[in-house]
């Protein structure tokens, strides 16, 4: 597969017009005062399926040929991409199967079923999800659309940053959560498409800092079984396509601990009345606790998702 381009991000934005809502950008006087900066929260937690993932999934399935549409799509995910593929497949009238960890967030798994996808579970400590997915796809003749290693997925995810930088072109920083790397790679392409000088910053869980390790090593580094509450950022490695884009830009890569993520979740709930999942709080936690001096700056924060089991969310807020 060839690398996506800045023009692909712009084409994805045109494709998504009228399909993926242009999500709101919220402000908080309290947080601006605490930071001594102006923060702009891009709320993808209210996107269709509850996360930015719908953008990339829809764009990828839009490229399917008629034979591919008839056979169906297969993907693997910890939850958000599964939901996104399920809904995008329904909108494109394509059968869908998603491979999900058996211990995935229950709300995410049920949502994928609710959108019409068949859900197959696996044990992430014993089974290789990509090998399982490839075997199932071969048996059923389905096309695989991975969560990050796909040019149209990356281009679609880049429309989040594209919208934010169009609405607020004078941002100094944009903090982006990092799992498989598609959102960060797409954000870098969006910046290039607009000719912006905004500095893009990737934020990942401290226990799963594969991107930072990969940039240091010069190749994708695998972390097989990371333990973090940021379940949507537990990809074992950066997607190769995303890594190539990220490596060229070499953005700053601070990380956040689980304790810092919990503090961020409480802030969103108490001060901004937003339900945010742990991975969705990564960018904010990185801006607040990642050691970068943002005083006096205009700072974009991508709130990437809000899909969290309510019982689990209640424990997060009370811990």
* Structure confidence by residue, pLDDT tens digits, 31-62: 999 999 999 999 999 999 999 999 999 999 99
Given a cut of 90, whether residue 232 has pLDDT beyond it is: no
State the pLDDT confidence band at 296, using cuts at 50, 70 and 90: very high
> Is residue 78 annotated as part of the catalytic site, yes or no?
yes
Looking at every residue in the chain, the average pLDDT score rounds to 93
Do the bridges between strand 25-26 and strand 38-43 make them parallel or antiparallel, or are there none, so unpaired? antiparallel
Strands 173-177 and 118-122: unpaired
> CATH 3.40.50.1100 region(s) of the chain?
6-51+151-318, 54-144
pLDDT grade for 107, boundaries at 50, 70 and 90? confident
318 CB neighbour count, 10 Å cutoff: 8
Of the chain, the percentage scoring pLDDT greater than 90 comes to 79
Q: Which of 254, 96, 251, 232 is nearest to 186 (CA)?
A: 251
Looking at 51, 75, 77, 78, which residue is catalytic? 78
Name the most confidently modeled range: 69-73, 74-78, 126-130: 69-73
In terms of Cβ atoms closer than 10 Å to its own Cβ (0-12, 13-18, 19+), residue 119 is middle
Q: Which CATH architecture has domain 6-51+151-318?
A: 3-Layer(aba) Sandwich (3.40)
What is the pLDDT confidence band of residue 128, given thresholds at 50, 70 and 90?
confident
Residue 86: pLDDT above 80? yes
Assign domain 54-144 to a CATH class: alpha beta
**Is the pLDDT reported for residue 1 higher than 80?**
no
Task: Supply the pLDDT for residue 226.
Answer: 74
Of the listed ranges 6-15, 125-134, 188-197, the one predicted with least confidence: 125-134
Q: Identify the active-site residue in 53, 75, 187, 255.
A: 53
* Backbone angles phi and psi of 128, in degrees to 5: -90, 110
- Hey, what are 258's tokens? 């689980």
75 in active site: no
User: Does this model's pTM top 0.85?
Assistant: yes
């Amino acid at each position: 597969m060839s690398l996506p381009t800045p023009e692909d991000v712009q084409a994805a934005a045109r494709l998504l017009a009228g399909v993926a809502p242009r999500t709101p950008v919220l402000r908080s006087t309290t947080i601006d005062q605490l930071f001594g900066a102006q923060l702009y929260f891009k709320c993808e937690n209210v996107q269709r399926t509850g996360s930015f993932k719908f953008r990339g999934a829809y764009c990828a399935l839009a490229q399917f040929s008629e034979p591919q549409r008839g056979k169906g799509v297969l993907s693997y995910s910890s939850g958000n991409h599964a939901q996104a593929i399920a809904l995008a497949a329904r909108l494109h009238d394509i059968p869908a199967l998603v491979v999900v960890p058996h211990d995935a967030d229950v709300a995410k798994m049920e949502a994928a079923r609710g959108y019409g996808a068949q859900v197959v579970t696996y044990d992430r400590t014993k089974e290789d999800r990509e090998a399982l997915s490839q075997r199932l796809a071969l048996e059923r003749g389905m096309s695989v659309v991975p969560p990050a290693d796909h040019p149209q997925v990356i281009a679609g995810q880049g429309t989040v940053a594209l919208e934010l930088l169009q609405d607020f072109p004078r941002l100094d920083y944009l903090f982006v959560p990092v799992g498989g790397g598609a959102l960060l790679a797409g954000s870098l392409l969006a910046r290039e498409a607009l000719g912006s000088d905004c500095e893009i910053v990737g934020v990942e869980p401290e226990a799963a800092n594969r991107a930072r390790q990969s940039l240091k090593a010069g190749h994708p580094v695998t972390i097989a079984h990371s333990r973090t509450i940021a379940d949507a950022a537990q990809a074992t490695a950066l997607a190769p396509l995303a890594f190539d884009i990220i490596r060229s830009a070499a953005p700053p890569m601070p990380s956040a601990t689980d304790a810092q993520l919990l503090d961020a979740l409480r802030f969103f709930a108490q001060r901004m009345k937003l339900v945010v999942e742990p991975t969705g709080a990564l960018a904010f936690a990185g801006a607040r606790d990642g050691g970068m001096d943002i005083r006096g700056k205009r700072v974009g924060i991508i709130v990437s998702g809000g899909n969290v089991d309510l019982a689990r969310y209640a424990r997060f807020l009370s811990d």
